[in-house]
């Protein structure tokens, strides 16, 4: 009885594992966004799609789409910012929502039984003619599909601002470095009045007896090797679907007035800025 559900459960479980693996290298917040935008449409299709010939191929396409996030958000500076992830991933619910809506209303095939009927051993005897169509299946699938389309089409405007830079662009720091929030050249953490420029500032202190130059070099090496910053670049363009955008992420390392002989300190400001003329 459960055989028709095996591929549905397996594909949904594999999709969740891939979504978590893709997002975990970025940040926990982005992982949640990936699950909501990319995996939920796959899960909805696996659970609610009718039993049609295209059910498994469409499920595999939605599964493959989760894997493309490795290229759309490859882990470069800027990808760990929640607003950037939203603006990129809000396209992902559309294919699943459209497929589920079309299959629910235009399919003449036998719809799948709900999972609770399979687990509970409730199935229609083979000798009884006609398909089993739970009364709630079509309205439930329609509501879920509509929700996915709204998520993909309408909520993109909520991510119009650049958003605060993610602390995951800097942390975790190597051993011997400590960070505290502070007030930098642009003031304390915040955004300008237009929402097109946001920043956050940290004071980084080093080991006892370490010079400021050594501390700065250690921090830059950490940014290059662990956080994806290449060369001496201080700003990186934020991309979306393989294209550079007008938004850039900058990281500025400066000396700090709190520098002392025993524990050197430097200031680090992360900033996200939209450089488009409309900004």
Rounded mean pLDDT for each run of 10 residues along the chain, 279 residues in total: 74 97 92 95 91 89 95 88 85 92 70 46 47 67 88 63 86 92 83 86 90 91 89 76 75 72 84 75
Q: What is the DSSP letter of 258?
A: T
Alpha helices in 90-206 (DSSP H): 93-106, 115-119, 137-154
**Do 35 and 88 contact (CB within 8 A), yes or no?**
no
Please provide the distance, in angstroms rounded to a whole number, between the alpha carbons at the two ends of the chain: 59
* Percentage helix, strand, coil for the chain under 3-state DSSP, each rounded to 5: 45, 15, 35
pLDDT of residue 49: 86
pLDDT of residue 249: 92
- Record the pTM: 0.81
**Do 220 and 233 contact (CB within 8 A), yes or no?**
no
Q: ω before 172 within 30° of 0 (cis)?
A: yes
């Amino acid at each position: 009885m459960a055989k028709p559900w095996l591929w549905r459960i397996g594909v949904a479980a594999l999709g969740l594992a891939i979504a978590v693996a893709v997002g975990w290298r970025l940040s926990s917040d982005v992982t949640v966004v990936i699950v909501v935008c990319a995996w939920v449409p796959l899960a909805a299709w696996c659970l609610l799609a009718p039993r049609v010939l295209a059910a498994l191929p469409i499920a595999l396409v939605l599964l493959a789409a989760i894997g493309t996030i490795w290229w759309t958000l490859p882990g470069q500076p800027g990808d760990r910012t929640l607003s950037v992830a939203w603006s990129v991933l809000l396209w992902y619910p559309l294919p699943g929502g459209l497929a589920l809506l079309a299959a629910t209303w235009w399919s003449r095939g036998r719809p799948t039984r709900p999972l609770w009927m399979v687990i509970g051993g409730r199935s229609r005897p083979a000798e009884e003619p006609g398909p089993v169509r739970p009364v709630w299946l079509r309205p439930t699938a329609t509501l879920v599909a509509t929700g996915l389309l709204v998520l993909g089409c309408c909520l993109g405007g909520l991510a119009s601002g650049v958003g605060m830079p993610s602390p995951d662009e800097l942390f975790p720091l190597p051993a011997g470095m400590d960070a505290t929030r502070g007030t930098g050249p642009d003031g304390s953490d915040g955004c300008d009045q237009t929402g097109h420029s946001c920043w956050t500032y940290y004071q980084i202190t080093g080991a006892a007896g370490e010079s400021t130059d050594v501390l700065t070099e250690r921090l830059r090496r950490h940014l290059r090797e662990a956080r994806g910053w290449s060369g001496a670049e201080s700003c990186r363009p934020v991309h979306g679907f393989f294209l550079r955008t007008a938004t850039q992420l900058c990281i500025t390392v400066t000396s700090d007035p709190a520098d002392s002989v025993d524990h050197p300190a430097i200031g680090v400001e992360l900033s996200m800025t939209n450089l488009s003329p409309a900004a």
